[in-house]
Structure 1
Amino acid sequence: MTIRKSIIMLGIVLAGMGAYAKSSVVQIKGSDTILNASQAIVEEYMKTNKKARIAVTGGGSGVGIASLINKTADIAMASRNIKSSEVEALKKEGINVEEVVLGYDGITVIINHGNHIKNLDKKTLAGIFAGEITNWKELGGDDAKIVVLSRDSSSGTHAYFKEEILRGGDSKSVVEYGQDTLYMPSNQAILQEVAKSKYAIGYIGMGYMNDTVDSLAVDGVKPTFETVADKTYPIAREVFWYVDSARDGVTKEVVDFAVSDKGQEIVKEEGFVPAH
């Protein structure tokens, strides 16, 4: 985490401690994919709502939704759809959850600058991440073992990539990630590992993409703002905030701000396609 982000989070948690010392902190937890975007939204909201108290933390989509269920979060950030079992668990806690589309993300498959592969189709990606294709020479590259990096199981991106790529959208499939897959705790960790490892491959949210790595075309389509917006990029998906439909106070206000024109402009600035 950068010094700037650390300062932001400290300011968010501590702001308004005087007059609002007895009030609760609004907790936003979950997806690391949209963590930075959510922090930026909250930072901007705080500029005109200085007495509000909001904490934004990651941990993965599963962590966020679980926190919403056990009432240690007011808003869950998620990069996957909520499961029916999670909706039922929320209902048992008296929460009628509302799905708020924050924006759209293109899951970006990344490789090292030293790797000259430019395009892979979804079937080949499935073979790589399932551990069936293990050497770059099978794909026209160097004779070297493919180092496969994935997000860990608490990540919504991990779940989405498995369902859409490894299992090809087949709800009956039981294909899992290969046994040699290295599981990483964050988008940033995958980015850094691919940047230093010539034969690594991984995936990140498009908001994390930078010039330290190369992105692959998937089925001949590169992940760009335009291809995610028009749905031609094959691994594009919605990203969400999940929140009680009966919300009020600061929780309601920050959700309203997130989907406002200003909030959606921040989503765009953070590298995602806005919801409207």
Structure 2
Amino acid sequence: MKGFMKLGCLVAGFVLFVFGLLSGEALSQAMIQVKGSDSEVNLVQRLAEVFMKKNPDVNIAVTGGGSGTGIAALINKKTDIANSSRDLSPKEEQAAKQAGVQPFRVVFATDGISAIVHPENPIQKLTQEQLGKIFKGEIKDWKEVGRKEGKISLYGRQSNSGTYVFFRGFVVKADYSPHMKSMNGNAQIVEAIKKDKDGIGYVAVGYVVNNKGEVMPGVKIVNIAKDAQSEAFSPAIMDNVMTGKYPISRPLNQYLNGKPSGKLLDFIRFQISPEGQEIVRKQGFFPVQKNWMEFNRKQGL
């Protein structure tokens, strides 16, 4: 009996020893939680993968759900970083203040929101105003913008999406058409357009363009002009977006609770470093524009 008791004690001790080692290893790993924008999720996942490979003592979990979801998680102190493809709303700023959260903004990439159609759609260009009228439902047929007759099918995002909010405010400037199909993400819009010859949708550029400026098979990007007197430009060409020739560009943001420190600061600085910006480019997005680089610098980054 004493032998069994002695053996039991040895086994228990070994289990506790192993558990202690594992617990120590887990505790030594810095955990960073990132939630939010669907437009940013693939890009940030790739940035996180490279950073973790260089920093094995850091574990970064990246999930989507939309900019609104990420911002809500930050306000509720359920995430370290909120990916957001739009600015915080006044209501969100007030909620953050009441929760004792101090939103700290970082701009880590640039996006050119792209209007996409089926490759067999002959439309080549639209003005920003025409695009807005299409999505608010004032222009309902392709013949109204110079194409042969065909009822326009609209594909957009859900209301928790930062792209939904930005595009509505910057392009549509009104409520969306009630006939717009609300899709879960950029990828779903792309797949829908591939099957709909009369469809049009809006997506983040990184979902339809690679780092060489090549548009993915199965969709076509419509060139957009600022107004009827201006030349139309494509967001597939980096210079068009970076110089403002393409009119529908935006900064891609991350929000944190106060200025970051430690491994969190290291990750933020990695994203906006030359190496991080090269990854941004390889994922089909564009580097931080000069004015936002200066913004980051003034933030102490």
TM category (shorter chain) comes to: 0.7 to 0.9
2-structure distance, mates of 1:152, 1:234: 23
Letter in 2 for 1:231: G
Map of 2:85 onto structure 1: 79
Q: CA RMSD in A?
A: 1.7
1:121 to 127, 140, 160: 127
- The aligned runs of 1:105-254 (5 Å cut-off) are 105-167=111-173, 175-209=174-208, 210-219=216-225, 220-223=232-235, 224-254=237-267
Residue 260 (structure 1) aligned with residue 266 (structure 2):
no
Q: Does the 8 Å contact 1:20/1:51 carry over to 2?
A: no
Q: Does the 8 Å contact 1:187/1:204 carry over to 2?
A: yes
Letter in 2 for 1:262: E
Q: How much does 1:221 deviate? A: 1.4
Q: Does the 8 Å contact 1:61/1:79 carry over to 2?
A: yes
Letter in 1 for 2:96: L
1-structure distance, mates of 2:283, 2:258: 26
Letter in 2 for 1:258: Q
2-structure distance, mates of 1:124, 1:134: 11
Q: How much does 1:18 deviate? A: 6.7
Map of 2:56 onto structure 1: 50
TM-score scaled by length of structure 1? 0.87
Gaps of 5+ in 1: 1-15, 168-174
1:25 alignment partner, SS class = strand
Gaps of 5+ in 2: 1-21, 209-215, 226-231, 294-301
2-structure distance, mates of 1:109, 1:150: 10
1:273 alignment partner, SS class = coil
Give the structure with the larger helix fraction. 2
1-structure distance, mates of 2:280, 2:23: 28
Q: Does the 8 Å contact 1:113/1:212 carry over to 2?
A: yes
1:123 alignment partner, SS class = helix
Q: How much does 1:244 deviate? A: 2.1
1:274 alignment partner, SS class = coil
2-structure distance, mates of 1:247, 1:17: 26
Map of 1:101 onto structure 2: 107
Residue 37 (structure 1) aligned with residue 37 (structure 2):
no
Q: How much does 1:21 deviate? A: 4.9
TM-score scaled by length of structure 2? 0.80
2-structure distance, mates of 1:139, 1:247: 49
Cα deviations by residue, 1:5-30 (Å, 9 ceiling, x for unpaired) = xxxxxxxxxxx987025867321011
1:203 alignment partner, SS class = strand
Cα deviations by residue, 1:219-261 (Å, 9 ceiling, x for unpaired) = 1111121111101111011110111224333322211211111
Cα deviations by residue, 1:30-76 (Å, 9 ceiling, x for unpaired) = 11111111011100000121121211000111111011000111101
Map of 1:4 onto structure 2: none
2-structure distance, mates of 1:108, 1:74: 29
Change (3 A) 1:23 1:43: closer
Q: How much does 1:213 deviate? A: 0.5
2-structure distance, mates of 1:258, 1:84: 27
Q: How much does 1:178 deviate? A: 0.5
Q: How much does 1:211 deviate? A: 2.6
Change (3 A) 1:17 1:116: farther
Query: Is the radius of gyration larger for structure 1 or structure 2?
Result: 2
Letter in 2 for 1:204: V
2:39 alignment partner, SS class = coil
Q: Does the 8 Å contact 2:29/2:57 carry over to 1?
A: no
- The aligned runs of 1:55-70 (5 Å cut-off) are 55-70=61-76
